[in-house]
Amino acid sequence: MEIIVAKKILNANDQIAQANRARFDASRVLAVNLLGSPGAGKTTLLEAVLPGLAKTRKIAVVEGDLATSRDAERIEAIGVPSMQINTAGGCHLDANMVSRAIGTFELDSLDLVVIENVGNLVCTAGFDLGEHLRVVVLSVTEGDDKIEKYPPMFQKADALVLSKMDLLPHTNFQVERMRENLQRLSSQARLFPLSVQTGDGIDAFVDWLESAMRRDRRDR
């Protein structure tokens, strides 16, 4: 006997993601999913932008890694509360892990939650965590063909941070080629070339985050 089902797999994740988003909305918190390869500079970016933002905004960070609490310690060291999730081999964060992690925060007292995903350009793209914005970090040392090779990761990005711009002269990375591909794939995505080492471009990214937080508050 055949049973017609038509049930979406991953539906459980999507439902929990919706619930997470509703919790963020109810507490007027902007949630950002930070994605990119291992070594792209995700944690380093947070170390560069969060101390300034934390002067006027209440922030917490969820850190996802296979093992160690190293990243959470780095975030704690700049005075921002963080919660480490170890996926023990899992290649991505899912909505359920995030749901448990944000349960440890006093959401009502926060303005911004950054969820730093497991370093991975593939699997993390497929899982909604309940975020409002997706920010992908790509370093110039990874090469300018990553958008063409891993399109799902970049398609739903709201912003692309092009990191390690101080190393650009030492690479064959063509920013224009990457910009064109990003435009084709995700015309709404903002591009932020920056260098944490020199500080160039950081302000523009911080301003964008600030305006997203203001917009976020107005909408609710």
- Quick one: which of 180, 29, 158 has its CA closest to 105? 29
Interface map 161-200 toward other proteins (x if CB under 8 A): --------------------x-xxx-x-------------
Q: How many whole angstroms separate alpha carbon 65 and alpha carbon 13?
A: 19
Interface map 64-93 toward other proteins (x if CB under 8 A): --------------------------xxx-
The answer to whether residues 140 and 166 touch, using CB atoms and an 8 Å cutoff, is no
Within 10 angstroms of residue 116's Cβ, the number of other Cβ atoms is 28
Near other proteins by CB under 8 A, which window of 20-28, 117-125, 166-174, 191-199?
A: 117-125
Q: Which of 38, 51, 103, 152 binds other proteins (CB under 8 A)?
A: 152
Find tokens 């203001």 and name the residue.
214
User: Which residues sit opposite 85 in a β-bridge?
Assistant: 64
| Least distance (Å) between residue 181 CB and other proteins | 7
Interface map 120-149 toward other proteins (x if CB under 8 A): --xx-xx--------------------xx-
The answer to whether residues 31 and 113 touch, using CB atoms and an 8 Å cutoff, is yes
AA letter at 7: K
Residues that bind other proteins (CB under 8 A): 1-10, 12, 90-92, 94, 122-123, 125-126, 147-148, 151-152, 155, 181, 183-185, 187
